[in-house]
Structure 1
Amino acid sequence: MVRNERISIEGKPAHRTDGWKTSAGIRLLLFVLLGLLFYMAVANRLIPQTYDIEIGSVSEKTIYATKQIENAIETQKAKEEAARRVQPVYSILPMKNETLVEAIFEKLRQINADDQLSTTDKVNVFRNVFPTMYNDHAEMLYASIKVGEPGNEGLLNEVKTALRDQQYRIPEEVYFKFPRLTKEDLDAMEPVARDVVVRLMNDQLTNAQTARTRVAELVNTSPLTKNTSREMVQEIARFVITPNKFSNQKATEEERAEARENTKPVYINKGDVLVHKGERVTEETYGRLKDMDLLKEKVNYWPQLGLAMMSALFVLALYMYVRQSEQPIRHNNVQLLMLVLIYVLNVTGMKIVALGQNLEYANIGYLAPVAMGAMLIAILIGMPIAFISSILFALLSSVIYNVKGEELFDFRYGLVALVVCITSVFAIQRANQRASILKAGVMVSLFGAVTIVSLIFLDNVYTRNEIMLSFGFAVASGLLTAVLVIGLMPFFEVSFGILSPLKLVELSNPNHPLLRKLLTETPGTYHHSVMVGNLSEAAAESVGANGLLCRVGSFYHDIGKTKRPSYFIENQTNIENPHDHIEPSLSKSIIIAHARDGSEMLKEYNMPKPIRDIAEQHHGTTLLKYFYFKAKKQQEEGAEPIPEEEYRYPGPKAQSKEAAIVGIADCVEAAVRSLRNPSIEQIDTMVRKIIKDRLDDGQFNECDLTLKELDTIAKTLNETLLGIFHSRIEYPADAPAKTESKEVKQA
Structure 2
Amino acid sequence: MKHKDSGKDWRHFAGKPYFIWGIYVLLGIAMYIAMINSVIPKKLNVHLHDIAKYDIQSPVETIDKQATKVKQQEAIESAPSTYVYKKDAALMQVEKAGDIFDVINEVKSKSDKHSSSSMKENVKKVRDKLSDSSNDELSDHTIETLLKASDNELSVAQDMVNTAIYETMNNKIKWSDLDRVQKDASKMIPSSVTSKEMRLAMINILKDSIVPNYVFDAGATKRNKEEAARQVDNVVIHQGEVIVKKGELITRDVMHKLKVVGLLDNHLKALPFVGLAIFVLFLTALLIIECQHFKTKQGAPDVTRLLIFLVIFIFILLLIKLDSILKNTHIVGINYVVPIATGAWLIRMLLNKRLAIVSSAVFGLCGSLMFGEASSTNVFDMPMGVYLLLSSLAGVFALKGHGTRFRLVQTGFIISIINVVIVAGLIFIQNGTLHLYETSLTLGFAFLSGLLSTVLTFGLMPFFEATFGILSPIKLIELSNPNHPLLRKILMEAPGTYHHSVMVANLAERACDVIGANGLFARVAAYYHDIGKTKRPRFFVENQFNHDNPHDKISPQLSRTIIISHPYDGADILRKHHMPKEIIEIAEQHHGTTLLKYFYYKAKENTDQEVLESEFRYPGPKAQTKEAAVIELADSIEAAVRSMAKPTPMKIESLVQKIFNERLEDGQFDECDITLNELRMVKESICETLNGVFHSRIEYPDESDHKKVNNK
Name the TM-score, length of structure 2 as normaliser.
Answer: 0.65
Closer, same or farther in 2 for the Cα pair 1:308/1:334, shift >3 Å? Answer: same
CA drift of 1:634 comes to 1.2
The CA deviation string for residues 599-650 of structure 1, in whole angstroms up to 9 with x for no partner, is: 11011111111111111100000000011111111122xx3x2221110000
The CA deviation string for residues 240-280 of structure 1, in whole angstroms up to 9 with x for no partner, is: xxxxxxxxxxxxxxxxxxxxxxxxxxxxxxxxxx995599x
> Which residue identity does 2:38 align to in structure 1?
R
Q: Secondary structure at the match of 2:292?
A: helix
* 1:341 corresponds to 2:311: yes
* 1:583 corresponds to 2:555: yes
1:391 aligned to 351, 354, 361, which one? 361
Deviates more, 1:721-730 or 1:361-370: 361-370
Closer, same or farther in 2 for the Cα pair 1:729/1:647, shift >3 Å? Answer: same
Q: Distance in 2 between matches of 1:701 and 1:15?
A: 26
Residue 622 of structure 2: aligned partner: 653
Closer, same or farther in 2 for the Cα pair 1:319/1:500, shift >3 Å? Answer: same
Residue 459 of structure 2: aligned partner: 487
Check whether the contact 1:554–1:662 (CA below 8 A) recurs between aligned residues.
yes
Residue 352 of structure 1: aligned partner: 322
Closer, same or farther in 2 for the Cα pair 1:735/1:369, shift >3 Å? Answer: closer
Q: Distance in 2 between matches of 1:430 and 1:598?
A: 29
CA drift of 1:462 comes to 4.0
Residue 448 of structure 1: aligned partner: 419
Residue 32 of structure 1: aligned partner: 25
Check whether the contact 1:21–1:332 (CA below 8 A) recurs between aligned residues.
no
Q: How does 1:394-413 map to 2 (within 5 A)?
A: 394-403=364-373, 405-413=376-384
Q: Distance in 2 between matches of 1:549 and 1:298?
A: 59
Q: Secondary structure at the match of 1:661?
A: helix
CA drift of 1:55 comes to 6.2
Residue 635 of structure 1: aligned partner: 607
Check whether the contact 2:333–2:443 (CA below 8 A) recurs between aligned residues.
no
Residue 42 of structure 1: aligned partner: 35
Q: How does 1:541-580 map to 2 (within 5 A)?
A: 541-580=513-552
Q: How does 1:254-293 map to 2 (within 5 A)?
A: 277=239
Deviates more, 1:294-303 or 1:548-557: 294-303
Q: Distance in 2 between matches of 1:40 and 1:566?
A: 64
Check whether the contact 1:431–1:437 (CA below 8 A) recurs between aligned residues.
no
Q: Distance in 2 between matches of 1:311 and 1:736?
A: 84
Closer, same or farther in 2 for the Cα pair 1:618/1:17, shift >3 Å? Answer: farther
CA drift of 1:300 comes to 4.7
Check whether the contact 2:60–2:240 (CA below 8 A) recurs between aligned residues.
no
CA drift of 1:589 comes to 0.5
Q: Distance in 2 between matches of 1:621 and 1:544?
A: 26
Q: Secondary structure at the match of 1:651?
A: coil
2:496 aligned to 524, 529, 532, which one? 524
Residue 185 of structure 1: aligned partner: none
CA drift of 1:302 comes to 3.9
Check whether the contact 1:445–1:476 (CA below 8 A) recurs between aligned residues.
yes
Q: Distance in 2 between matches of 1:710 and 1:15?
A: 34
Residue 599 of structure 1: aligned partner: 571
Closer, same or farther in 2 for the Cα pair 1:697/1:470, shift >3 Å? Answer: same
The CA deviation string for residues 425-473 of structure 1, in whole angstroms up to 9 with x for no partner, is: 1122424421222222212211111011112221122441431221111
CA drift of 1:557 comes to 0.6
Check whether the contact 1:58–1:278 (CA below 8 A) recurs between aligned residues.
no
CA drift of 1:736 comes to 11
1:301 aligned to 243, 267, 270, which one? 270
Check whether the contact 1:420–1:448 (CA below 8 A) recurs between aligned residues.
yes
Q: Distance in 2 between matches of 1:719 and 1:50?
A: 69
Q: Distance in 2 between matches of 1:432 and 1:28?
A: 31
Closer, same or farther in 2 for the Cα pair 1:629/1:302, shift >3 Å? Answer: same
CA drift of 1:417 comes to 0.8
> Which residue identity does 1:501 align to in structure 2?
P
* 1:468 corresponds to 2:437: no
2:347 aligned to 370, 373, 377, which one? 377
Q: Distance in 2 between matches of 1:278 and 1:587?
A: 86
> Which residue identity does 2:449 align to in structure 1?
S
Between the aligned residues of both structures, percent identity stands at 45
The CA deviation string for residues 676-709 of structure 1, in whole angstroms up to 9 with x for no partner, is: 1111111111001101100110000000111111
Q: Distance in 2 between matches of 1:355 and 1:422?
A: 24
CA drift of 1:402 comes to 1.9
Check whether the contact 1:325–1:384 (CA below 8 A) recurs between aligned residues.
no
1:679 aligned to 640, 645, 648, which one? 648
Q: Secondary structure at the match of 1:345?
A: helix
Closer, same or farther in 2 for the Cα pair 1:729/1:308, shift >3 Å? Answer: same
Residue 417 of structure 1: aligned partner: 388
Residue 428 of structure 2: aligned partner: 457
The CA deviation string for residues 453-510 of structure 1, in whole angstroms up to 9 with x for no partner, is: 1122211224414312211110111111111111111111111111111111110111
Check whether the contact 1:449–1:474 (CA below 8 A) recurs between aligned residues.
yes
Check whether the contact 2:291–2:306 (CA below 8 A) recurs between aligned residues.
no
Q: Distance in 2 between matches of 1:342 and 1:278?
A: 37
> Which residue identity does 1:490 align to in structure 2?
P
Q: Distance in 1 between matches of 2:409 and 2:8?
A: 35
> Which residue identity does 2:546 align to in structure 1?
N
- Point out 4+ residue stretches in structure 1 off by more than 3 angstroms: 14-18, 47-59, 274-279, 293-300, 324-330, 732-737
Q: Distance in 2 between matches of 1:278 and 1:443?
A: 38
Check whether the contact 2:294–2:306 (CA below 8 A) recurs between aligned residues.
no
Residue 80 of structure 2: aligned partner: none
Check whether the contact 1:323–1:330 (CA below 8 A) recurs between aligned residues.
no
Q: Distance in 1 between matches of 2:696 and 2:495?
A: 24
Closer, same or farther in 2 for the Cα pair 1:393/1:278, shift >3 Å? Answer: closer
Q: Secondary structure at the match of 1:338?
A: helix
> Which residue identity does 2:652 align to in structure 1?
I
The CA deviation string for residues 164-185 of structure 1, in whole angstroms up to 9 with x for no partner, is: xxxxxxxxxxxxxxxxxxxxxx
CA drift of 1:368 comes to 1.3
Q: How does 1:82-481 map to 2 (within 5 A)?
A: 277=239, 300-324=269-293, 331-361=301-331, 363-403=333-373, 405-464=376-435, 465-481=437-453
> Which residue identity does 1:667 align to in structure 2?
S
> Which residue identity does 1:398 align to in structure 2?
S
Q: Give the structure, 1 or 2, with the largest relative contact order (CA under 8 Å, sep 6 or more).
A: 1
Q: How does 1:497-512 map to 2 (within 5 A)?
A: 497-512=469-484
Return 5+ residue gaps in structure 2 as ranges.
Answer: 1-6, 42-58, 70-235, 242-261, 707-712
The CA deviation string for residues 501-560 of structure 1, in whole angstroms up to 9 with x for no partner, is: 111111011111111110111111111111111111111111111111111111111000
Q: Distance in 1 between matches of 2:613 and 2:365?
A: 63
Check whether the contact 1:52–1:296 (CA below 8 A) recurs between aligned residues.
no
The CA deviation string for residues 652-684 of structure 1, in whole angstroms up to 9 with x for no partner, is: 000000011000000000111111111111111
Name the TM-score, length of structure 1 as normaliser.
Answer: 0.62
Closer, same or farther in 2 for the Cα pair 1:618/1:650, shift >3 Å? Answer: same
> Which residue identity does 2:578 align to in structure 1?
N
CA drift of 1:390 comes to 0.5
CA drift of 1:732 comes to 3.4
Closer, same or farther in 2 for the Cα pair 1:58/1:466, shift >3 Å? Answer: farther
Check whether the contact 2:60–2:377 (CA below 8 A) recurs between aligned residues.
no
CA drift of 1:52 comes to 6.9
Closer, same or farther in 2 for the Cα pair 1:415/1:278, shift >3 Å? Answer: closer
Higher CA-based Rg? 2
Residue 70 of structure 1: aligned partner: none
